[in-house]
């Protein structure tokens, strides 16, 4: 439900905060006080089109924020939507819509920027707004089948669930069948392809890590002369100084230096640690020289080995390009090719088995779809009767409400029915699709009747009615008031009204009024206590002239409302 609405710099509103409660929330006030402005702000929050003219004069932007809390029954649907947008699901959601003077519009959910259309998707789950605006599930034909099925109850839901399970199983089987190819010739071609791939990988006799080892060996063989020359020169300079054009070898010079350091250490014992280090370094250099001599003597280079290594690497790299980025991936591809080839070789029996199961599924689906259609027709008849009874109570005595159910060629998750709600307000007129012929005032009353019929099943938590009392009066107003009170047992209901009968049913009554501040007119709001609510109802009843007679009338009205809600 909508817990809190914050509006800044929108039309006549400078800064306004309204807290809403569960049950029936009434918004009232003098004509022009800003009731329609609040509805417009909610529309913006739910992703409707914005206009720069809505920004308060003198401001560069308008900001609408709403804190909403989803019913637990809607948590999975809402969480799936949020997770798809990368937004973590929380107990409460902060929706925000900012409209800038330059025409730019920014939407956010829990502080994260989202497309404006995403606000509309959330709004379709959490809100239904009825009246002169178009945020109405009743006008979306795709929702009609959902509303009818909700009315059908658990028995219908069970059949629909069975159809969904059968439909998904059929989808899996068709996918399995398509994996075998369209016909036997294609299956033979696939077997030949898998056999070729498998033989190519088998003939290569690959070993895990072989490519890395060969790459290292190729590097050494490609630089054999350089490596050999470096080893020889280092050895010669260490031991054969004269042959390298030096007066002494490195080893001889180190020996002479060691003698000098030893003589000095004999005089100053503090030099002994350095003498030990020097001796160790000389010994290590001597060991390096001998290791290099052995390395050089054993180092062999055959140009033919380099060619062989490079050819092997080229083969492996070619296989890696075709079947995977590593030797391990190529080997795994070979295992998969073998499995697929064996599966294809046994495909005739598998295809026959799948096709037999598909035929059985088709028969079962047809049977369940027929049962679903039957249940829908029963539910449609009951819904038509119930809605028409409600419409008569709501001053539409000649109204006709019909549920049209047509067959579709293809079976979907919802069966093979197309459902559409039809309506006629006047006697003698043919029923037509709601979205095409219904007026704003009629939409509100039809939805009120439909929502009353679906009160226990409808999951949309917040219903907003904008002047549902327009054009009606007397006993009809009382019927509307009672219908709204009934709905508020199952939904959060917000209602903009001029009717004291409707307002008397309020669980929370919010008064909107205008206030002059400086040279500017502002819209303000206040939550009425019982005494203030009594005086506001008297104003709605008799205008500005509030007297004891009107207050007595109000008290009677409040008592009647209390008695009705208690029942």
Model pLDDT for residues 388-417, shown as the tens digit of each residue: 998 888 888 899 999 999 999 888 889 999
Do 98 and 105 contact (CB within 8 A), yes or no?
Answer: yes
| pLDDT tens column, 257-312 | 888 888 888 888 888 888 889 888 888 888 888 888 877 777 777 778 788 888 88
| pLDDT tens column, 462-520 | 888 887 777 677 778 888 899 899 889 888 999 998 899 999 999 999 999 888 887 78
Do 251 and 244 contact (CB within 8 A), yes or no?
Answer: no
373 falls in which pLDDT band (50, 70, 90)? very high
Do 71 and 129 contact (CB within 8 A), yes or no?
Answer: no
Q: Is residue 281 part of a domain?
A: no
| pLDDT tens column, 47-68 | 888 888 888 888 899 999 999 9
Half-sphere exposure of 267 (CA within 13 A, CB side): 5
Quote the DSSP letter at residue 55: B
> Could you give the residue ranges of the DSSP H alpha helices within 248-402?
250-267, 272-298, 303-323, 327-345, 347-393
Burial level of 560, CB count in 10 A (0-12/13-18/19+)? Answer: middle
101: pLDDT strictly greater than 70 = yes
Angstrom CA distances, 120 to 135, 288, 464, stand at 9, 77, 15
Altogether, the residues listed in the chain come to a count of 567
10: pLDDT strictly greater than 80 = yes
Please give the structure tokens belonging to residue 312. 């092997």
Intra-chain end-to-end CA distance of the chain, in Å: 25
40: pLDDT strictly greater than 70 = yes
| pLDDT tens column, 157-211 | 999 999 999 999 998 888 877 767 656 677 778 778 888 888 888 888 888 888 8
Angstrom CA distances, 81 to 46, 119, 121, stand at 15, 11, 8
362: pLDDT strictly greater than 60 = yes
Half-sphere exposure of 454 (CA within 13 A, CB side): 26
Q: How far apart are CA 155 and CA 161, in angstroms?
A: 10
- Whose structure tokens read 């029996």? 349
Find the mean pLDDT for residues 513-532. 87
Do 84 and 117 contact (CB within 8 A), yes or no?
Answer: no
133: pLDDT strictly greater than 50 = no
Q: Is residue 375 part of a domain?
A: no
4 falls in which pLDDT band (50, 70, 90)? very high
- Whose structure tokens read 């003498």? 275
- To 5 degrees, how large is the angle CA 336–CA 339–CA 340? 85
Q: How far apart are CA 308 and CA 464, in angstroms?
A: 81
Q: Is residue 202 part of a domain?
A: no
> Could you give the residue ranges of the DSSP H alpha helices within 21-110?
35-45, 75-84
pLDDT of residue 138: 72
Find the mean pLDDT for residues 345-367. 82
β partners of residue 62: 99
For residue 85, the domain's CATH number is 3.40.50.300
Q: Nearest to residue 491, comparing CAs of 465, 463, 453, 468?
A: 463
- Whose structure tokens read 């001889």? 252
Q: Is residue 495 part of a domain?
A: yes
Domain region containing 88: 1-131+467-482+489-529
Q: Is residue 57 part of a domain?
A: yes
Q: Is residue 44 part of a domain?
A: yes
β partners of residue 114: 107
pLDDT of residue 84: 82
Q: What is the dihedral of CA 439, 443, 449, 453, to 10 degrees?
A: 140
Quote the DSSP letter at residue 10: E
Find the mean pLDDT for residues 126-138. 66
How far from the centroid of its chain's Cα atoms is residue 502's Cα? 39
User: What is the chain's Cα-based Rg?
Assistant: 42
Q: Is residue 508 part of a domain?
A: yes
- To 5 degrees, how large is the angle CA 527–CA 529–CA 530? 140
Please give the structure tokens belonging to residue 77. 């649907």
Q: Is residue 401 part of a domain?
A: no
Total domains present in the chain: 1
Do 423 and 152 contact (CB within 8 A), yes or no?
Answer: no
| pLDDT tens column, 233-259 | 887 777 775 555 556 678 778 888 888
């Amino acid at each position: 439900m909508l817990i809190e609405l914050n509006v800044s710099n929108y039309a006549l509103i400078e800064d306004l905060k309204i807290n809403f409660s569960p049950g029936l929330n009434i918004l009232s006030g003098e004509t022009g006080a800003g009731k329609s402005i609040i509805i417009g702000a909610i529309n913006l929050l739910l992703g409707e089109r914005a206009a720069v003219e809505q920004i308060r004069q003198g401001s560069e932007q308008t900001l609408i924020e709403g804190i909403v809390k989803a019913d637990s029954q809607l948590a999975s649907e809402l969480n799936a939507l949020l997770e798809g947008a990368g937004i973590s699901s929380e107990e409460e959601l902060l929706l925000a819509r900012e409209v800038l003077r330059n025409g730019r519009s920014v939407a956010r959910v829990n502080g994260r920027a989202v497309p404006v259309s995403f606000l509309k998707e959330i709004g379709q789950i959490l809100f239904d707004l009825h009246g002169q605006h178009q945020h109405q599930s009743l006008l979306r034909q795709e929702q009609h089948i959902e509303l009818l099925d909700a009315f059908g109850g658990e028995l219908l839901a069970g059949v629909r669930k069975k159809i969904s399970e059968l439909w998904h199983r059929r989808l899996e089987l068709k996918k399995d069948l398509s994996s075998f190819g369209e016909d036997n010739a294609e299956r033979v071609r696939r077997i030949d392809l898998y056999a070729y791939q498998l033989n190519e990988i088998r003939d290569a006799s690959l070993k895990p890590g072989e490519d890395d080892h060969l790459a290292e060996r190729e590097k050494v063989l490609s630089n054999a002369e350089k490596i050999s020359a470096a080893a020889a020169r280092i050895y010669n300079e260490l031991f054969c100084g004269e042959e390298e054009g030096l007066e002494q070898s490195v080893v001889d010079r180190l020996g002479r230096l060691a003698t000098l350091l030893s003589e000095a250490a004999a005089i100053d014992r503090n030099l002994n640690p350095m003498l030990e280090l020097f001796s160790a370094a000389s010994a290590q250099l001597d060991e390096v020289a001998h290791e290099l001599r052995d390395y050089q003597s054993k180092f062999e280079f055959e140009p033919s080995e380099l060619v062989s290594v490079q050819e092997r690497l080229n083969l492996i790299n070619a296989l890696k390009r075709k079947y995977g980025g590593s030797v391990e991936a190529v080997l795994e591809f070979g295992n998969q090719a073998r499995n697929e080839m064996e599966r294809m070789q046994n495909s005739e029996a598998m295809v026959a088995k799948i096709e037999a199961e598909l035929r059985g599924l088709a028969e079962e689906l047809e049977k369940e779809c027929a049962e679903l259609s039957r249940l829908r027709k029963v539910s449609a008849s009951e819904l038509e009767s119930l809605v028409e009874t409600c419409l008569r109570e709501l001053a539409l005595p000649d109204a006709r409400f019909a549920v049209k159910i047509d067959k579709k060629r293809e079976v979907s998750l919802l069966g093979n029915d197309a459902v559409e709600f039809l309506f006629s307000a006047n006697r003698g007129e043919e029923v037509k699709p709601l979205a095409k012929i219904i007026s704003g005032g009629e939409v509100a009353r039809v939805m009120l009747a439909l929502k009353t019929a679906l009160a226990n099943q409808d999951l949309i938590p917040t219903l907003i009615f904008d002047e549902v009392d327009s054009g009606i009066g007397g006993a009809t107003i009382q019927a509307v008031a009672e219908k709204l009170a009934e709905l508020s047992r199952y939904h959060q209901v917000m209602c903009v009204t001029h009717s004291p009968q409707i307002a008397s049913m309020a669980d929370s009554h919010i008064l909107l009024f205008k206030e002059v501040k400086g040279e500017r007119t502002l819209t303000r709001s206040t939550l009425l206590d019982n005494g203030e609510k009594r005086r506001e109802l008297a104003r709605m009843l008799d205008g500005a002239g509030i007297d004891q007679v009107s207050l007595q009338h109000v008290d009677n009205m409040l008592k009647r409302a209390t008695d009705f809600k208690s029942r």
